[in-house]
Chain A
Amino acid sequence: MLVIRCPYCEAERPEVEFAYGGEAHIARPADPSTLTDEQWKDHLFIRTNARGTHFERWRHVHGCGRFFNAVRDTVSDKFVTTYKAGLPRPTEAELEGMRK
């Protein structure tokens, strides 16, 4: 069981309080009706499936209830960082600093 830092609670909390929420930084198109079938398919179904650094959503569902974003290494299963929903993706340079 992992310990995950919730950026809203600003605390390390046990994994049982959290739920995984799929890949992060995929915004729902403002007007889906303007998308072609191909574009809509990509939005719905196509994900990066990264080996290594993965940007993903989690929800502190049994805590503060907030969705937030996380960077996790899918090989080591280690979290690099977590940050509030709506904030931009950390850059590779920033992540490099956090990995140390």
Chain B
Amino acid sequence: MSSGITKTASGGPASTARLRGVAWYQHPRWSRLTAMVAIAVVLTMVTGEQGTDRDIFFALREDFTGPLPWIWLGLCLLVWTVREFWSEPIRKVRRASVAKSDPPVAWVRGQWRGDRRIRQLVLAALVAVAAFAPMGLERYWHQVLVDQIAIYVLLAIGLNVVIGWAGMLDLGFVAFFAIGAYSAAFWTGALPVDPPFELNNFLVIPVAVLTCLIAGLILGAPTLRLRGDYLAIVTLGFHEIVYITAKNVEDFTGGARGVSGVEHFSIDMGFSYEWKLDPLPYYWLLLGFIVLLVFLFMRLEHSRVGRAWTAIREDQVAAAATGVNTVRFKLMAFAIGASTSGIAGVAYASKVGYFNPENFPLLASVLVLAYVIFGGMGSIPGVLFGAAFLVWLPEVLRDYVDPRDRYMYLGALLVIMMIYRPQGVWPSKRRQRELKMATEGTVDGDATAAPAGGKVS
């Protein structure tokens, strides 16, 4: 801590690499080449013959003797070569065209940055596309959209607040999802115990948010002082407690048999409408929730709250010395994430009507985390894309590979992604800079390291 080692101003990745005497084969280019070869192998396996139970090498033999791997390898190498060696000329040409009088790219960018109304218009158009495009899909995809994509997207934008913005590793995120779902069941009278009065599902939302907030505060207050890995273990434990409670307290939660007959969303104000089994109206409802939350959270990101979170994430000691109440802001992030998860829980329970504790496995928490990291921690568009894409992918893989293998390919994709592009598909600017500085070694990581001794508050 008082080592006196000071940071130097950074001079770009290439120069620092040169200063450090990095050998040519340590250039990130070669690790990216490996990644592209790996992608080619995965694509060959996805598009080629599928394995059989009897002969585990059958598919390998079939796939890698034909022309298929060469096609994919060629394509991937082409992408790699263009990116690594021709990107500079391409960029130059583009820059030259941008410099010329008002080319389309610069014009579009200028419009996007300059005019708020145009931004709003474009976003509204995107929402409209998201709302109406699914009408052309089959009913199966409607179900996937609602039960999985929309729910996981909601969870991901909640977890993004906790991990992407405040930088806290929360592995028990789905516990709050479960609490939301059981709240919905309780307040609509689907649990073995009767509520004092039954509530409309829409009214359950604030109640569930409050419940999750309180649960989040109870868990968070004593534990958020912990750093990184320790917090992860605590939240893991919290998830286990909620899961086992749901499973074993049969008189209250219905136990392992689960809960059935949770009511659907309905409105009864002058006119009445009930969301029934048809998934599309549910999709629109959830899309509404997502749009609303994204709208609210975007305001947070570039406000004092978002800045305080970034400060805490980067250097907790400096943040505290600057007057940022670190515990309060962490708690805030935790509670906001928990309540988003709770909303997703209510929506899920009301949509499916039937659920049991197995719907809230630890794996779900890990998957949401993977979606957030894949999309780009801290970036709302990234997280929306990451969750939607990675939930969609196994579903579409059903048509190509043995359904039991689907998650294997998802895993391969995650591995490759983390090697090739650890910042995610669409990273937030702040996160990207942090990652860059960390790899260049211009940021010392002592914000997370406890000092060598002594009492430190």
* A and B are partners in one complex rather than unrelated chains: no
Interface residues of A (CB under 8 A from B): none
Interface residues of B (CB under 8 A from A): none
